[in-house]
Amino acid sequence: MALLFLLRSEHHDHLAAFDLRWEGFDYCQFNQIVFHAVKHFHTDLLVGSGLAVTLDASARRSSGAPLLRWVAEGTAGLVLVNAGLALYGEAMKRRGLHDAATRTPRP
């Protein structure tokens, strides 16, 4: 019975397809999204490497490595993940404040 639940089909014909020509989304905004991702590559690198280090520590734990080794490695991995997320959050906050300050009020 559970297998049938996983194999059932979802019909989403009533939903609009994602299209970059949609009137509320232009190519300029698409370029901003791409450049924004490139600009904050260091945060992606921190989060990705932190997750890799944390998963490696988990594998060391399951293989029976000494306690201090996998705890130290796991802690270092979590520090990297949190540093990346904090930098990304700070960048988003600064961008939002900058956008709010430069936005012209509507008459």
Mark the ranges of the chain whose per-residue pLDDT is less than 70. Answer: 1-34, 36-37, 104-107
Residue 31 pLDDT: 67
The first and second tokens of residue 53, run together, are 């280090």
**Alpha helices (H) along 13-107:** 27-39, 41-62, 67-102
- Contacts with 49 (C-beta within 8 Å, 6 or more apart), sequence order: 80
pTM of the complete model: 0.60
The first and second tokens of residue 47, run together, are 């989060």
Residue 3 pLDDT: 54
Residue 17 pLDDT: 59
Residue 69 pLDDT: 93
> Tokens 């080794």 map to which residue?
69
